[in-house]
Amino acid sequence: MRIFISLVILLAFCVINATRGMQVHPRPPGLSDGQKQINKPLDAPVEYGSKVPDLAKLKQEAQELAQLSAGIPPRIDFVAKGQLPKDLADQLKRIEKLAKQMRSEISR
């Protein structure tokens, strides 16, 4: 009988200690931070392709770009010989400008 009483007291002591560490803190009324983020309104949809690129202009720029870039390899041969063609830098700038214009028109 003593063993039974000792076990009941020990079990009650363990249950009391276990529940003491699990104190529940009351929540204030209102939404928690996580609920606020979940319920946050979505960003407005992004509109892509609102303007159709001018195909005739793109084709003309592409042809000019092809002509300019076809003339670069022979001029690089002159650079390898130590001669710098005076219009090479301007030609490379024009290629860069055309490529940038075409890229911006396509990505609109």
Give mean pLDDT, residues 18-24: 61
Position 50 scores a pLDDT of 60
CB distance 95 to 69 below 8 Å = yes
Which of 96, 86, 87 lies closest to 64, judged by CA? 96
CB distance 58 to 105 below 8 Å = yes
pLDDT for residue 16 is more than 90:
no
pLDDT for residue 64 is more than 90:
yes
Give mean pLDDT, residues 75-80: 90
Residue 71 burial (CB count, 10 A): 13
Mean pLDDT (the chain, rounded)? 81
Measured torsion, CA atoms of residues 20, 22, 26, 32, in degrees rounded to the nearest 10: 160
Predicted confidence band of residue 4 (pLDDT cuts 50, 70, 90): confident
pTM listed for this prediction: 0.50
Position 100 scores a pLDDT of 94
